[in-house]
Amino acid sequence: MRNRCVVASLMCAAFLPAVVAAATDPPQAASSEVRELGPGLHLYGGGDVNTIVWTGADGTALVGGWGDDAIAAARQVSQAPIRYVVATHWHPAASAGDAGPAAGATLIAQDALRTLMAAPHRDAETGQLVSAAARGALPVITFDDTLMIHLNGSQLDVLHVADARGPGDVVAWWPAQNVAHVGDLYDPAGFPFVDLARGGTLAGIVAALETVLSRADDATVIVPGHGPVADRAGLGDYRGMLVAVGRRVAELVGQGLTLEEVLAAEPAGEYERRYGGGRVAADRFVRLVYGDLTRRR
Ligand SMILES: [Zn+2]
């Protein structure tokens, strides 16, 4: 029921004033939470999920989150209608999935994300029970592997990364602007979460990062799901950490160690200083990797 209250408050707080504001208010100066990434692309980093606001003559698209805060940030950049919202990954609270996208906007997501949203489920990362999204809040357009969106004189490639962090995760890539939103495949401050129960694997995350690395260059702007903007080098370091921890856990599992013994060996210990400040602590990550590798034997 709590989610239904959220729906009501977001409908009132975000959508209606936004519509009125479009008709009466001049554009506001962008706040410090909104910064330009490239032609037609702004990052709103002030919310729970990093959201890219893609604006131009054809209208606006949001990529990442679509909560009331993201919509307000988009209004700071442009008063043009929000036509599309592309979900990169799923957080029930941060994505405002219960509220649905802004009035008139079309929500786009990978097939598995719509399936997840359409039924009650337990959020794997938080354990929180999530009710089914209302019909009007579900993605309208879904896709399997890839989708291209042609808007504002440029192109967005949306690439599904299967068997990685969680169901329906994508990488959103603007080739002309050399900007990529990689969702929670990468956390500059933390170890990744892996939704083992829904097909997530460490190898899938590594493969997804390698796909991004193969397309990126030193000038590519890498936007993670949360936290500060990064670059190809940071993403490469992260991939290296995942491979190293995975290899160490695999060796320990191969020696017949129990989970408690693997944790005691601290296979992610050397990375705690760099990645110990995120949502997933080293011990939890090691538990996930252990669960992944032992499940596959
Ligand atoms: Zn996230």
Tens digit of pLDDT for each residue in 65-112?
A: 988 889 999 999 999 999 999 999 987 766 655 556 766 899 999 999
Question: Which of the listed CATH numbers 3.40.50.300, 3.90.550.10, 3.90.1150.10, 3.60.15.10 matches domain 2-242?
Answer: 3.60.15.10
Neighbours of 88 (CB within 10 A): 29
- Rounded to the nearest angstrom, the gap between the alpha carbon of residue 2 and the centroid of all alpha carbons in its chain is 23
Distance 226 CA to ligand 1 centre (A): 6
Q: How far is the centre of ligand 1, averaged over its atoms, from the C-alpha of 165 (Å)?
A: 10
Distance 89 CA to ligand 1 centre (A): 6
How many A from CA of 187 to the centre of ligand 1?
9
Q: How far, in Å, from the CA of 20 to the mean position of ligand 1?
A: 31
DSSP string covering 190-223, please? BPPP--GGGT--HHHHHHHHHHHHHH--TT-EEE
Q: What is each CA distance from 11 to 14, 28, 124, 193, 286, in whole angstroms?
A: 6, 22, 27, 31, 40
What's the gap in Å between 66 CA and the centre of ligand 1? 13
For residue 200, the model assigns a pLDDT of 96
- Other CB atoms within a 10 A radius of the CB of residue 54 amount to 31
Q: How far is the CA of 211 from the centre of ligand 1 (A)?
A: 19
What is the structure's pLDDT at 101?
Answer: 72
- Say how many Å lie between the CA of residue 290 and the centre of ligand 1: 22
Position 2 scores a pLDDT of 37
**CA-CA distance, 265 to 83, in Å (whole number)?**
51
Q: Which pLDDT score, from 0 to 100, does residue 47 have?
A: 84
- pLDDT per residue as tens, the chain (297 positions): 333 333 333 333 333 333 333 333 334 444 569 999 999 999 999 888 999 999 999 999 999 998 888 999 999 999 999 999 999 998 776 665 555 676 689 999 999 999 999 999 998 888 889 989 888 889 999 999 999 999 999 999 999 999 999 999 999 999 999 999 999 999 999 999 999 999 999 999 999 999 999 999 999 999 999 999 999 999 999 999 999 999 999 999 999 999 999 999 999 999 999 999 998 999 999 999 999 999 854
Tokens of 265: 């060996």
**Is the CA virtual torsion 198, 199, 203, 204 positive or negative?**
negative
**64 alpha carbon – ligand 1 mean position (Å):** 9
**What is the three-class DSSP state of 276?**
strand
Distance from residue 26's CA to the centre of ligand 1 (Å): 32
Helices (H) and strands (E) counted in the chain, each on its own, are 9, 14
Q: How far is the CA of 48 from the centre of ligand 1 (A)?
A: 8
User: Which residue in this structure is represented by tokens 């729906």?
Assistant: 7
Q: What is the pLDDT of residues 55-65, one digit of tens each?
A: 999 999 999 99
> Residue 69 is which amino acid?
D
Cα(161) to ligand 1 centroid in Å equals 15
Going from the Cα of 224 to the center of ligand 1, the distance in angstroms, rounded, reads 8
Output the CA angle 165-144-205, nearest 5 degrees: 20
Instruction: Compute the distance between CA of residue 263 and CA of residue 283 in angstroms, rounded to an integer.
Output: 7
> How many Å lie between the centroid of ligand 1 and the Cα of residue 194?
12
Expressed in angstroms and rounded, the spacing between residue 183 Cα and the centre of ligand 1 is 6
Q: Which amino acid is at 115?
A: T
Instruction: Work out whether strand 51-54 and strand 60-64 pair parallel, antiparallel, or are unpaired.
Output: antiparallel
Distance CA 137, CA 209 (A): 30
